[in-house]
């Protein structure tokens, strides 16, 4: 069994383990194909590359991490992406989540507050051929209004509350997936949906532990 196959097996096992939280026994096959298609080892440093396909987070420098594969798959699945969608990611990090989304949607805009990480991920994504990902340095708390509204928004760091700007930048019928709660404890992955009339609903999905969102807020 290849490392990639083992990662997919571990994701499927954890889906079954957490089904009472997430309300399903399997992720969308398109999401699993995207997880299979993206080479995770390309997004981590050589020192931890041997662990690239383990189902756990890994350090990427600057106090940040690449999320565990199960969480990346879960957040992607919750967005319910379609091929024509335009998505926003807050927290580019190493670019892994953006790459997974890029295999599923038309365009991904991604904001990263740490300049060095943003530059590294932009170079990496170009090298790997993810031409439909556009990155910039900025405070993702404010979203990226120039390209709004979005078909979905994913936030890869924990916020103390849901940023109003992100909800405002959702299209009717779109979803926002974000971890909410104090730094490193008592966080919950939330799914925020805006219906066709603009009404917003929130569902707590799963207890999680993310690095905190940084910025002016």
Is 46 an active-site residue? no
Q: Which residues contact 37 (CB under 8 A, 6 or more apart)?
A: 103
| Largest Cα–Cα separation, the chain | 49
Given the residues 2, 46, 67, 110, select the one marked as catalytic.
67
Neighbours of 91 (CB within 10 A): 24
Neighbours of 20 (CB within 10 A): 7
What counts of helices (H) and strands (E) characterise the chain?
Answer: 7, 9
Are the C-beta atoms of 129 and 38 separated by less than 8 Å? no
User: Token pair 């990480």 is at which residue?
Assistant: 117
Q: Which residues contact 157 (CB under 8 A, 6 or more apart)?
A: 90, 91, 179, 210, 211, 212, 213, 214
Let me know how long the chain is: 217
- Residue 97 CA to residue 68 CA, distance in Å, equals 10
The set of catalytic residues is 67
């Amino acid at each position: 069994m290849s490392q990639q196959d083992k990662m997919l097996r571990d994701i499927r096992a954890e889906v079954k383990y957490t089904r009472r939280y997430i309300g399903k026994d399997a992720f969308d096959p398109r999401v699993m194909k995207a997880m299979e298609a993206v080479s995770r080892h390309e997004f981590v440093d050589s020192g931890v590359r041997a662990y690239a396909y383990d189902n756990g987070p890994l350090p990427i420098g600057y106090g940040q991490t690449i999320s565990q594969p199960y969480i990346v798959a879960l957040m992607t699945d919750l967005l319910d992406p379609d091929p024509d969608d335009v998505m926003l990611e807050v927290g580019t990090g190493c670019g892994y989540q953006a790459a997974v989304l890029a295999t599923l949607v038309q365009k991904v805009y991604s904001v990263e507050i740490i300049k060095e990480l943003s530059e590294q991920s932009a170079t990496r994504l170009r090298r790997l051929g993810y031409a439909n990902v556009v990155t910039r340095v900025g405070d993702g708390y404010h979203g990226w209004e120039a390209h709004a509204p979005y078909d979905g928004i994913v936030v890869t760091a924990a916020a103390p509350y849901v940023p109003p700007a992100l909800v405002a930048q959702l299209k009717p019928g779109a979803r926002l997936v974000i971890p909410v709660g104090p730094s490193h404890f008592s966080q919950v992955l939330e799914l925020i949906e805006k219906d066709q009339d603009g009404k917003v609903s929130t569902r707590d999905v799963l207890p999680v532990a993310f690095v905190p969102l940084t910025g002016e807020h």
